[in-house]
Structure 1
Amino acid sequence: MKLISTRGQAPAASLSEALRNGAAPDGGLYMPDVLPSADFADVDPQAPLGEFAAQLLQPFFAGDALEAELPAICAEAFDFPVPLVTPHPGEPRLQALELFHGPTGAFKDFGARFLMGCFDRLGVDQPLTVLVATSGDTGGAVGCAAEGRSAVRAVILFPKGRVSPFQERQLTCWGDNVLAVEVDGDFDDCQRLVKSAFANAPLSAEHRLTSANSINFGRLLPQLAYSARAALQVRAATGETPGFVIPSGNLGQGFALLLARALGLPIGPIVLATNANRTLKDWHDSGRYEARASVATLANAMDVGNPSNFERLSQLGVQPGDVRVELVTDAEIERRIKADYEASGYVWCPHSATTVEAWCRLSEAERNERPWIAAATAHPYKFAEIVEPLIGREVAPTPALAAILDRPTRKIRIGADLNALAEALSEQEAAA
């Protein structure tokens, strides 16, 4: 397989090269030149996710330098449960795919651990620097997955005042090879700095930069895998093709689902739930894409005004009618968390609450027409200051999340300026 840039001005790359590069040299995002044709009839959805993912993703790795390593990479990365649960006994057609049982309590653990396993094998001779912008959860997952690896350094940019207190702790508590950088700006400023660094060829080469954001095609492959497994499990149990409702920020999960459907996997209607950042909603309603400045919301990991992966949607030929987009306000997030807890005892994080709110907006006929899978993307403890007042009790952390509370933290602060980022990269390389 070869991967090509969405902007068409960069050489085609192998999968390993695309993972190593992160973004294409012309500033575009990598996409397969041709979607792999594969028969998924023999893929067992009841197999452990690591085994399932290695089977499902093999066509993407065929002929690549990492092909023989794929089973080991998947086994290492996906060693935690990924259950499908029924959050409300009175709504059996809705299942929650709980993606928060990894070490940092968010779905970003899948992509971060998978990529770090790849980077460990690609950076043996020359360590790579993973440069990542985060709106909340990606940075913590990358820091955790990178910690202690000899072939990887990580530099994590996060927006000042735009992450929850626990998220900031998760961003800043890792070992010497992980540097947290607080940026005076919003997530889009952080993302712009990352793209500018990659576009600066001397800077990128000096620090051997790569990315663990969803701009890296390798971040999307685990999302493709767990979505496909859930869909195949539901179809095996019911004989029906499920619809999906997912929270959407930078559009990585949305693209992964659309890619899965394009590959012929049993993915039905796709509903993208956004917060008050309305770029996708406006595109869906008008057919015109117009980037906006991001606004702060309770679902902060979705605070994205210019989703990078929209370039991939365009390349895949996705039209507004191919998905449904629902905008959910902070007040609606709060009401949904409170109402569902009172009705069933199930606790959503603010991001996951957008999914079930979007599902509730479907007509009764649409809800009952097929099974639906809602992505529950983060553990509610990570947003305890929002969730606990709404449900009237404390949310207990998982053992992995509780362990973070006793770690020392470290961060530096910079303006949203490429020169300041270059200095931070040099300091981190000297220290690691």
Structure 2
Amino acid sequence: MKLYNIKENDEQVSFGQAVRQGLGRNQGLFFPQQLPTFDDIDALLGEDFVTRSTKILSALIGDELPPEQVNAMVDAAFQFPAPIKSIKEGIYALELFHGPTLAFKDFGGRFMAQSLTAVSDGGKITILTATSGDTGAAVAHAFYGMQDINVVILYPQGKISPLQEKLFCTLGNNIHTVAIDGDFDACQALVKQAFDDAELRKEIGLNSANSINISRLMAQICYYFEAAAQLSKSQRENLVISVPSGNFGNLTAGLLAKALGLPIKRFIAATNANDTVPRYLETGQWDPKPTVATTSNAMDVSQPNNWPRIEELCRVKKWGLETLGKGAVTDAQSAESVKDLHQQGYLCEPHGAIAYRVLDEQLQAGETGLFLCTAHPAKFKEVVDEILESDIELPAPLAKHAVMDLLSEQLANDFDALKQVLLRVQK
């Protein structure tokens, strides 16, 4: 598999290089030079989750890793299901929260850990990543205890849910968590600054586990196929998928699944008040505003990192951006949708409820709708309990960490201070 830097096309790397490097020159994202296609999609969808995912990922990686090794990686990473649940006639929820940290990012985080191990050159690695909530836990648990790998996770202080924070800020060992005085975009900017420091990158073996890393993105392609496999042939031929979108990695993976041959009619990008992309699709003007804190905090991103990959894919496939559905939902509206879903017998949290609301508004006659539920409702217990006047029971992983002490250090939004942390962690 060869990939090129979207910003500087002459930088071309292998899958292993892209996984180890994370970002290209000038903070450019890597993108596949060629996308394979599967002619017999029905046969592929007839396979079990691990077998099908092995075939998809092997086709993307190419001969760089043998299929039996990819199979072992997938088998180790995807040890939990991605079921769909019927909500009402014609609308289904894809539940992506059955992994160890109860969020969709378990798929990408665990496959990245397997990939990095497979392509590592034996040197020490420092993984630096920013999280708006769920990435931190998925990455922390995927890499916890791994030899010669240190993980540093930045998150906006006071702007993620307390239970999200507990899930990844209580591990210790090789997992180091830093609460930044700023929003998620400030955390991302610090990560980018670190990658721009060539001397630092070399000294600490810097890598990133955000969805900017191609291995994470590739893993996410697989659960779109798994969702379609659970629908009938007629349903998936008119399938509309609504994706709760913050950093836009999830939507990028869905569009890549479509590019590989999965027959998805169209996608909807559903955001909260941080609506840079819906406004851009409406006006053609890229005009990020200051990030607003919402009850769907994992989507509190005003400058989504993965958007350039979506534009690149649309350019390569000659897809018009206007074919993307869009919608922005307020906190009050997402609360209404949490209540609506609960009245239909389905417990959801604000991110999934946002995707449901926009899908329900835009689904047309004869179409089958699917919306992504990206996290277990208990990860947002305070918000959901207030909306529903309830008391959600904590699942075991959350209950275990809820009583543990936070191990995070607090830091100003200052790159020099972060650099000292990174150098100290590596020693």
Q: Does 1:97 align with 2:94?
A: yes
Which residue in 2 is equivalent to 1:336? 337
CA deviation vs aligned residue, 1:296-338 (integer Å, no higher than 9, x gap): 1110000000011111112122543120110000000111112
Of the structure 1 ranges 265-274 and 229-238, higher mean CA displacement relative to structure 2 is found in 229-238
Which residue in 2 is equivalent to 1:297? 294
Which residue in 2 is equivalent to 1:212? 209
Q: Does 1:183 align with 2:180?
A: yes
Mapped contact 2:83–2:94 kept (Cα < 8 A): yes
C-alpha distance in 2 between matches for 1:314 and 1:34: 16
Which residue in 2 is equivalent to 1:282? 279
1:239 is displaced (CA, Å) by 6.1
Mapped contact 2:269–2:324 kept (Cα < 8 A): yes
Q: Does 1:398 align with 2:395?
A: yes
CA deviation vs aligned residue, 1:1-25 (integer Å, no higher than 9, x gap): 2100110165200011101101112
Secondary structure of 2:426 counterpart: helix
Q: Which amino acid aligns with 1:325?
A: K
Output aligned runs, 1:220-235, within 5 Å: 220-235=217-232
Query: Structure 1: 5+ residue runs without aligned partners?
Result: none
Secondary structure of 1:223 counterpart: helix
TM-score, scaled relative to structure 1? 0.94
Q: Which amino acid aligns with 2:344?
A: S
1:66 is displaced (CA, Å) by 6.6
Structure 1 residues 23, 40: closer, same or farther in 2, change over 3 A?
A: farther
1:210 is displaced (CA, Å) by 1.0
1:67 is displaced (CA, Å) by 5.3
C-alpha distance in 2 between matches for 1:397 and 1:155: 27
Structure 1 residues 151, 49: closer, same or farther in 2, change over 3 A?
A: farther
Which residue in 1 is equivalent to 2:268? 271
Which residue in 2 is equivalent to 1:130? 127
Mapped contact 1:111–1:223 kept (Cα < 8 A): yes
CA deviation vs aligned residue, 1:339-365 (integer Å, no higher than 9, x gap): 221x222111110010111112125xx
Which residue in 1 is equivalent to 2:24? 24
Secondary structure of 1:234 counterpart: coil
Mapped contact 1:298–1:350 kept (Cα < 8 A): yes
1:171 is displaced (CA, Å) by 2.6
Which residue in 1 is equivalent to 2:366? 369
Which residue in 2 is equivalent to 1:63? 63
Secondary structure of 1:81 counterpart: coil
C-alpha distance in 1 between matches for 2:192 and 2:14: 21
CA deviation vs aligned residue, 1:169-197 (integer Å, no higher than 9, x gap): 12301131000011111100100111111
Mapped contact 2:133–2:298 kept (Cα < 8 A): yes
Structure 1 residues 410, 30: closer, same or farther in 2, change over 3 A?
A: same
Q: Which amino acid aligns with 2:355?
A: T
Secondary structure of 1:269 counterpart: strand
1:393 is displaced (CA, Å) by 1.9
1:400 is displaced (CA, Å) by 2.1
- Number of residue pairs aligned between Structure 1 and Structure 2: 423
Sequence identity, in percent?
36
Mapped contact 1:272–1:323 kept (Cα < 8 A): yes
Q: Does 1:322 align with 2:319?
A: no
Which residue in 1 is equivalent to 2:116? 119
C-alpha distance in 2 between matches for 1:6 and 1:295: 29
Which residue in 2 is equivalent to 1:381? 378
Mapped contact 1:61–1:67 kept (Cα < 8 A): no
C-alpha distance in 1 between matches for 2:68 and 2:124: 21
Which residue in 2 is equivalent to 1:15? 15
Mapped contact 2:245–2:271 kept (Cα < 8 A): yes
Which residue in 2 is equivalent to 1:108? 105
1:284 is displaced (CA, Å) by 1.1
C-alpha distance in 1 between matches for 2:120 and 2:90: 45
Output aligned runs, 1:339-354, within 5 Å: 339-341=340-342, 343-354=343-354
What is the Cα-based RMSD across aligned positions, in Å? 1.7
Q: Which amino acid aligns with 1:332?
A: Q
Secondary structure of 1:393 counterpart: coil
Mapped contact 1:43–1:55 kept (Cα < 8 A): no
CA deviation vs aligned residue, 1:232-267 (integer Å, no higher than 9, x gap): 432437463311011000010111111121222111
Which residue in 2 is equivalent to 1:143? 140
Q: Which amino acid aligns with 1:323?
A: L
Structure 1 residues 81, 310: closer, same or farther in 2, change over 3 A?
A: same
C-alpha distance in 2 between matches for 1:247 and 1:165: 21
1:119 is displaced (CA, Å) by 1.5
Q: Which amino acid aligns with 2:55?
A: Q
C-alpha distance in 2 between matches for 1:374 and 1:392: 24
C-alpha distance in 2 between matches for 1:265 and 1:415: 45
Q: Which amino acid aligns with 2:254?
A: L
Structure 1 residues 127, 404: closer, same or farther in 2, change over 3 A?
A: same
Q: Which amino acid aligns with 1:35?
A: L
Structure 1 residues 256, 8: closer, same or farther in 2, change over 3 A?
A: same
Q: Which amino acid aligns with 1:261?
A: K
Which residue in 1 is equivalent to 2:3? 3
Which residue in 2 is equivalent to 1:201? 198
Mapped contact 1:73–1:118 kept (Cα < 8 A): yes
Of the structure 1 ranges 231-240 and 101-110, higher mean CA displacement relative to structure 2 is found in 231-240
Of the structure 1 ranges 376-385 and 308-317, higher mean CA displacement relative to structure 2 is found in 308-317
CA deviation vs aligned residue, 1:21-45 (integer Å, no higher than 9, x gap): 0111221000011222443547543
Structure 1 residues 124, 150: closer, same or farther in 2, change over 3 A?
A: farther
C-alpha distance in 1 between matches for 2:84 and 2:305: 29
TM-score, scaled relative to structure 2? 0.95
Q: Does 1:415 align with 2:412?
A: yes
Q: Which amino acid aligns with 1:324?
A: G
1:120 is displaced (CA, Å) by 2.1
Secondary structure of 1:264 counterpart: coil
